[in-house]
Amino acid sequence: MVCARMGKYELIITEKPDTAQRIASALDAKGKAKKMEDNGVPYYVAKRDREIVVVPALGHLYTVAEERGGRNYYPVFSFRWVPRHVAERGAKQIRTWLETISKLANEADAFIDACDYDIEGSIIGYCILKYACGNKEKTSKRMKYSTLTKKELEKSYAELLPHLDFVLIEAGLTRHEVDWFYGVNLSRALTIAARDWSGKYATLSTGRVQGPTLKFIVAREKEIKSFVPTPYWEIKAKAQIDRSVFEAEYEKGIIETKSEADAVLNACKGKDGQVEKVDVRKFQQKPPIPFDLGALQGEAYGLFGYTPRRTAYIAQRLYLEALISYPRTSSQKLPTAINYEAILKSLSKAPEYKKLTAGLLAKPELKPREGKMEDPAHPAIYPTGNLPERALDASERKVFDLIVRRFMAVFGEPAIRQSMKVHIDVNGHRFYLRGRRILKEGWLRFYGPYVGSEEVLLPPVEEGQAIKVRKVILEGKFTKPPPRYNPGSVLKKMEETGIGTKATRANIIQTLYDRKYVRDERIVVTGLGFEVLEVLEKYCPAVVSIELTRELEERMDKIQANSEKRENVLVDAVEILKPVIEELKEREKIIGEQLSKAIKRARLEERIVGTCPVCGTGKLMILYARKTGKRFIGCTNYFKGLCKTSFPLPQRGSVKPLGRNCRRCGWSTVQVRIKGKRPWNLCFNPECPSKEERRKRIAMRNMQ
């Protein structure tokens, strides 16, 4: 319960429980804040020259909702900010949380907002102070910090900002309200249309950023599907220098006709070459720039295969443990105030970084290479110098090491590389040998594990030197379609086109997966994704316009810069949406039929495992027995009386077709997930070699 014996105190609001504990411990005179609890809600009491109570939120405790209840109507343009438990199912805990904060606010005589210093954190703190604390938003002071280290938290408390950042709050409120207008109206229009036509409910959604994101993914999918491969030919020569053989490329990388390729091959076959020219060049490779969130997400996807959402989650955990600075930043700059030298000295206590930091600390000056982007709230992501107090899991270790090494690399010297290009004449046709090597490691010494630096060393050659050509090879190839997007490249595209924010992009990508508009790591648009976008482009093209979305983003940024009014942006958003909603209502039956049929097809697609290996014409599908309800895999040709192939499946957990074949036998596979166990891939071929090997391993273990 709330301690009744406490006198008046300062009340500090934080965004999450971990942050509250760190702030309370940092501000307590003895470094040991007392943990209290009220109805399961934790808070902390710290003592210095006066008593301080630190209470956490659970992220957003308030949200936007319509003024009248119900979910079965649209358009909706009147809204209010309400506690999340009022608007969302499954958020009952929020009521207790807000009751505890209100109790603590009653006995406080001073208020401090210590939520994360960005748009989302500013809204969280503002709403709590306004609604739960009784309109204390105008008298509250503000803590601003970028790390949860004791030193920075004490400094932030000693140098409190006199008031909240109201223009940042205005920008954030506007963004949430505009996104709500789009999301609630468009999503309800699609969902209600499909439900009313089919009589079955399925959640469909789109929004101000979700629609344009789906649009450019679909555009790429259409490019891939309509791509017609054309043939071309490449010629290579196996050239021997001393005792080593190297592959030389023909001067024309692509030969478009077979007759030309054959002519070159015939002219060079059986001929030796002569070195015409040797180009040796040195060039500098500058150090990388510090991580902003997007760059970290892109690098972690490329190196480890982590989705942007997963990387953001890992980085947030590292931040809450005071290991790195605040991750949701768009800055590429590292101010001197963070004290580069102190961070490196702290990192040197870790054996794996000791030699690396020693080299940097020996430099007369530490000057980072920085990028152009700047974030007024936070610097680029950097390690605090603190070392983990617990054993990090594998993914945390990788992301932490990546951030540490990137931080060190930005202080490194440029790497010096040498390229060598040998021009070889073979009977009037020119071939090239290419070599490369590193002359000076520079920053690569720090970032080496995460940068490709494969060397190709060529022996010394001179102009006029004879070269033995062992073989000339002609390869026929076909042009390839553009590559599929992956979560990392989608995030980069969103950044480039200026839609979404650093805090929302990863979640928008995840929503496209959750709604089953896209699937797979190398993103494939589903039939449902195509249909939803087709409806939007046909009946309301404005809401999937990348240009319009970017324009709204820019206007909301102007609110933050105090050069645009919140009211104007909201009014204009409604004016854009009104004719769109009218069109959707008018075409509701047509849209409902189109979407319902797409949903039905999508549900069938989800159950298709692959081609039947017995009859070769039917599809294997996850089916359910009418009498027992048990699931199994059966061939669709059974219903035509053509094939009786079937296979049993586990009855516990969920089963999902993987869309790929077993490496050992080539049969289709499924993934089985049972709560509390690691998912595993199942090949249902009873004769698969992998199953025989597994049986042998088990038998051997039993014999031992």
Instruction: Tell me how far apart the 2 most distant CA atoms of the chain are, in Å.
Output: 98
Per-chain mean pLDDT for the chain = 91
Domain shared by 139 and 206, yes or no: no
What phi and psi, each to the nearest 5 degrees, are found at residue 516?
65, 30
Domain shared by 47 and 154, yes or no: yes
Single out the residue in 126, 143, 164 at which a domain terminates. 164
Please say if 326 is a catalytic residue: yes
Domain shared by 308 and 395, yes or no: yes
Domain shared by 248 and 204, yes or no: no
Measured distance CA(377)–CA(142) in Å, rounded: 13
Is the C-alpha dihedral spanning 462, 463, 467, 469 positive or negative? positive
Residue 275 lies in a domain: yes
pLDDT tens digits, one per residue of 512-535: 999 999 988 899 999 999 999 999
Single pTM value for the model: 0.86
Q: What is the CATH number of the domain that holds 435?
A: 2.70.20.10
Domain shared by 16 and 159, yes or no: yes
Single out the residue in 409, 426, 443 at which a domain terminates. 409
Residue 454 lies in a domain: yes
What's the pLDDT score for residue 682? 84
Measured distance CA(13)–CA(8) in Å, rounded: 16
> What pLDDT band is residue 702 in, cutting at 50, 70 and 90?
low
pLDDT tens digits, one per residue of 629-654: 898 999 989 888 899 888 888 888 88
> What pLDDT band is residue 699 in, cutting at 50, 70 and 90?
low
Of 326 and 648, which is predicted with more confidence? 326
Structurally, how many domains does the chain consist of?
5
Domain shared by 473 and 489, yes or no: no
Write a three-state SS string for 399-452.
HHHHHHHHHHHCCCCCEEEEEEEEEEEECCEEEEEEEEEEEECCCHHHHHHHCC
Domain shared by 44 and 158, yes or no: yes
Domain shared by 434 and 451, yes or no: yes
Domain membership of residue 322 as a residue range: 293-409
What's the pLDDT score for residue 354? 95
Residue 14 CB coordination number (10 Å): 28
Residue 178 lies in a domain: yes
Measured distance CA(101)–CA(133) in Å, rounded: 7
Integer Rg of the chain from CA:
31
Residue 51 lies in a domain: yes
End-to-end CA distance of the chain: 58
Considering 250, 326, 382, 517, which one is annotated as catalytic? 326
What's the pLDDT score for residue 686? 81
pLDDT tens digits, one per residue of 200-232: 888 888 999 999 999 999 999 999 999 999 999
Task: Write the CB contacts of 124 (distance below 8 Å, at least 6 apart in sequence).
Answer: 15, 57, 59, 60, 61, 115, 116
* Contact call for residues 250 and 264 (beta carbons, < 8 A): yes
* 388 prior amide bond cis, ω within 30: no
